Amino acid sequence: MTPVLYLVIPCYNEEQVLPLTSGKFKSKLDELAEAGKISGESRVMFVNDGSKDSTWDILSSLCDEDPRYCAISLSRNRGHQNALIAGLMEAKEHADITISMDCDGQDDINAIGQMVDEYAKGNEIVFGVRNDRSTDTWFKRTTAQSYYKFLKGMGVDIIPDHADYRLMSSRVLDALEGYGEVNLFLRGIIPQLGFKQSVVYYSRAEREAGTTHYPLSKMASLAIDGVTSFSVRPLRMITLLGLLVAFLSFVGIIYVLVSVFTGYYVDGWASTTCIICFVSGIQMISLGVIGEYVGKIYLETKHRPRYIVSERLNIPEK
């Protein structure tokens, strides 16, 4: 039996992009259905992440035009990762497989066919991995590469150059449902789920219109989430740093005692001040790192919902 595929596409203020890309998603589904690779019940599912522009109006008219489009709307902007999980959880009730992708045309739609082929071979998770970073700025390329190295050093297992373009089966999504964390970093969780996994390479295009919603500040906070949601190694490093500073102080004390007993006069207010500044700096940083984790515990213990779906269009009956 051919699988029902849902493309899950989060959209936030994408009025400029949607008229250019929405038709391409649908044509791709038609092409794959005609080739007998997916079922005719397959759909393009948009998730409106609390957009403030006319995105929802555009999505509503698409849904009116064609039942192969469906959409849900979140009650307010919850961010890319939450919009994705909202769409995936909605889609898994109707689909055998889902593919999550950006709505701006950056994720090459021609990789969809290859992903479906990989699924047919028995893979339940297929990661879309970029085969080059030439469309990125020098800054984004360098920071991304250093970040992957840093994550590896912290013991976090993620797939380099893979963002959120991936295929997952409904069985995988059932497993993902059990991960109730509010600090969501999907590209860290999904490799951990297990199941049979494979990779499809694609070249990432430029955005067709509009601008990115990931400015430096959001990228930095996603990067911090990536570390603190998956590794406690920074906490251990603080302990090691504490031990190192304690050891150095111990050596310092012995030096002072020896100086006093040998009658050597020590003036040194400057060195004392330097040491106080250095140690209090380290303490501040350490408190900050611990605070990151405490903050996360605080958010997790409240068990608040990650998103609220306020509207649904063309979602089939179960």
Binding site for Mg ion (CB under 5 A): 102, 104, 106
Say how many C-beta atoms besides its own lie within 10 A of residue 210's C-beta: 17
Partner from Mg ion, ligand UDP, none contacting 214, C-beta within 5 to 8 A by type = ligand UDP
Residue 128 makes contact with ligand UDP by CB under 6 A: no
What's the min distance (Å) between Cβ of 273 and Mg ion? 49
Please compute, for residue 204, the number of CA atoms within 13 A of its CA located in the half-sphere on the CB side.
22
Looking at beta carbons only, is 50 or 92 nearer to ligand UDP? 50
Question: Among residues 43, 41, 37, 38, which one has the least CA distance to residue 6?
Answer: 43
Residue 103 makes contact with ligand UDP by CB under 6 A: yes
Residue 124 makes contact with ligand UDP by CB under 6 A: no
Cα separation, 70 vs 63, in Å, equals: 6
Looking at beta carbons only, is 14 or 118 nearer to ligand UDP? 14
216: which 2 tokens? 């430096």
Question: Among residues 217, 228, 216, 218, which one has the least CA distance to residue 295?
Answer: 228
3-state secondary structure at position 126: strand
150: which 2 tokens? 């840093």
Cα separation, 11 vs 208, in Å, equals: 14
What's the min distance (Å) between Cβ of 16 and ligand UDP? 11
Looking at beta carbons only, is 141 or 196 nearer to Mg ion? 141
Instruction: Tell me how far CA of residue 154 lies from CA of 150, 170, 229, in angstroms.
Output: 6, 31, 11
Residue 79 makes contact with ligand UDP by CB under 6 A: yes
Residue 106 makes contact with ligand UDP by CB under 6 A: yes
Residues 90 and 53: beta-carbon distance below 8 Å: no
From the centroid of its chain, how far is CA 235? Answer: 22
What's the min distance (Å) between Cβ of 299 and ligand UDP? 18
Interface segment toward ligand UDP; rule CB under 6 A; list 63-71, 103-111, 169-177, 227-235: 103-111
Looking at beta carbons only, is 33 or 219 nearer to ligand UDP? 219
Residue 104 makes contact with ligand UDP by CB under 6 A: yes
What's the min distance (Å) between Cβ of 104 and Mg ion? 4
Residues that bind ligand UDP (CB under 6 A): 10-12, 14, 49, 77, 79-80, 83, 102-104, 106, 212-214
